Amino acid sequence: MNQSVQEPSIASHPDRLLPTETGARNVARELLADVENLPIISPHGHVPASLFVDDAAFPDPTALLITPDHYVTRLIHSSGIPLHDLGVGNPSVDSREAWRRFAKAWPLFEGTASGYWLRGEFEHIFDIPGSLIDLLPSGGGDAVYDALTTKLTDPEFRPRQLFTGFGLEVLATTDDPLDSLGDHATLAADPTFSGRVLPTFRPDAYLNPSQHGWQERVSRLMDEAAEGLTGFAGYLRALENRRAHFIEHGAVSADHGVRTPRTVRLEAQEAASLFSRAQSGLATAADQELFEAHMLYEMARMSVEDGLVMTLHPGSFRNHHTPSLERYGPDTGHDIPIAINYTEGIRPILQHFGDAEGFHLVLFTLDETVLSREIAPMAGFYPSVFIGAPWWFLDAPDAMLRFRSAITETAGFSRTSGFIDDTRAFCSIPARHDASRRIEASFLARLVTEHRISEERAHELIVDIVDRAPRRVFKL
């Protein structure tokens, strides 16, 4: 086993992430072959549409792969490197110096999901050989940096070319309700660009009065879209109108990132009076929370009416480290999960809309305990409930296997959303989907070799999981 020089690299090994045991591995290989080259469908993520409108060359390796990827910067930060030395909140950072810090920190990523994705990006997108990647911490940083820099000047490595090269068919962005969606319109109208880039309605900042600037945002929202109506009625109308605007521009879903999945259905009058209090800045913290919980209910109601798939991403304590928030802004690596209660939290939604025609509610979690206990049992009863793919810290090989193990025996395969990459890191998309497909093949292969499903059926299931599920659940 020590002739690793002759072995394919980690990122290129045909059996990477597949089971060790020969029987299961052989089945997994055959299952993987069915889906390895299917187009990528990405119904939820954070790549901006402007990337493909501008289609500009990426500036440099650090700005492309390190600075904006909080999965990467956070782990380097844990080793004692300040975020600004990696370019976070620091446009004047020396790109090569920042890269060298990353290169030295490369061993930190062994065994992590980010490490897997980065290897995939280096090797499969940018043709950096695995042997050179292995030299990153021991002086290879500059060589990798230079190789990447050269590639980035090549038109082949512009966003649109990569979009095609990645085999992307659908890519959803995540957008502010007041976004004009001009970039999406531009792309849709452009005959030279064949990919589907769809907006996603993300209204958190307009629903949660405790968020800084809520009053101003709501004023702008109502000015823009309340059709002259005032008060709570105007607010609801404006939200409905912006959703309609999103739908006109191809949106298929509305996404909600809340701390807890608590939902409440208030009487109209109470909701209206909470809204007034919040607008006047008189709402208590409890008022604000109650209002947000009611608005989650209203969002479900609107989804039932306008057909936008409702995706729920609760359970993240955002901006855990205030000093980092103040210095670097949000989404800089210190959002930390907490335990959640879906069963009681979303009951008001399910009481009213659990079997509403066409309603799709996709539940994501950072708290694995709710998978077997709450989400799978709900998805195995309510026609509206779908199980969101492993999210964020859980979109990694072992966690994805735990996910399938936790849900399948209760809810089967028909109730899952298909893989979601949820990433800001455009170049990590192929590696993320690759990992997911390999893990799906591994899980199914085990069921086959344990005689729990037939091999024939496994071949049908893997195509369904990878390709048909996201189309079905996200109405694509």
> Scanning residues 284 to 343, which ones bind its own copies (CB under 8 A)?
317, 320-323, 333-339, 341, 343
Q: Does 6 help bind its own copies (rule: CB under 8 A)?
A: no
Strands annotated E in 12-84: 40-42
> Scanning residues 451 to 470, which ones bind its own copies (CB under 8 A)?
451-457, 461
**Of 303 and 372, CB closest to its own copies:** 372
List Cα–Cα distances, 100 to 13, 38, 86, 105, 112, in angstroms: 27, 36, 10, 9, 20
Q: Does 383 help bind its own copies (rule: CB under 8 A)?
A: yes
Q: Does 378 help bind its own copies (rule: CB under 8 A)?
A: yes
> Scanning residues 31 to 90, which ones bind its own copies (CB under 8 A)?
74-75, 77-80
Tell me how far, at minimum, the Cβ of 401 lies from its own copies, in Å: 9
Q: What is the 8-class DSSP label of residue 387?
A: E
* β-strand pairing of 361-363 with 385-387: parallel
Neighbours of 286 (CB within 10 A): 8
**Of 290 and 394, CB closest to its own copies:** 394
Tell me how far, at minimum, the Cβ of 249 lies from its own copies, in Å: 29
**Residue 124, both tokens:** 């499969």
> Scanning residues 418 to 457, which ones bind its own copies (CB under 8 A)?
446-447, 449-457
Kind and range of the H or E element at 336? strand 336-337
Query: Using an 8 Å Cβ cutoff, are 402 and 376 in contact?
Result: no
- Per-position x/- string for 12-31, each x denoting binding to its own copies as judged by CB under 8 A, each - no binding: -x-xxxxxxx-xx-xx--x-
Tell me how far, at minimum, the Cβ of 237 lies from its own copies, in Å: 28
Determine the size of the site formed for its own copies (CB under 8 A). Answer: 97
Only one residue has tokens 């800089």, namely 332
> Scanning residues 80 to 109, which ones bind its own copies (CB under 8 A)?
80, 107-109
Q: Which of 331, 210, 311, 334 is nearest to 257 (CA)?
A: 311
CA dist., res. 274 & res. 162, Å (int): 48
Tell me how far, at minimum, the Cβ of 456 lies from its own copies, in Å: 6
The Cβ-side half-sphere exposure at 306, using a 13 Å CA radius, reads 24
**Of 193 and 393, CB closest to its own copies:** 393
> Scanning residues 137 to 156, which ones bind its own copies (CB under 8 A)?
none
- The residues near 314 (Cβ < 8 Å, ≥ 6 apart) are 256, 257, 258, 259, 260, 261, 340, 342, 345, 364, 365
**Residue 52, both tokens:** 């493909």
Q: Does 122 help bind its own copies (rule: CB under 8 A)?
A: no
Q: Does 273 help bind its own copies (rule: CB under 8 A)?
A: no
**Of 131 and 219, CB closest to its own copies:** 131
List Cα–Cα distances, 324 to 77, 108, 195, 274, in angstroms: 11, 21, 37, 32
Q: Does 415 help bind its own copies (rule: CB under 8 A)?
A: yes
**Of 225 and 375, CB closest to its own copies:** 375
One of 397, 418, 430, 470 touching its own copies (CB under 8 A): 397
Neighbours of 324 (CB within 10 A): 20
List Cα–Cα distances, 122 to 11, 205, 474, in angstroms: 9, 36, 31
**Of 181 and 350, CB closest to its own copies:** 350
Query: Using an 8 Å Cβ cutoff, are 185 and 245 in contact?
Result: no
> Scanning residues 160 to 189, which ones bind its own copies (CB under 8 A)?
none
> Scanning residues 247 to 266, which ones bind its own copies (CB under 8 A)?
none
One of 140, 141, 354, 388 touching its own copies (CB under 8 A): 354
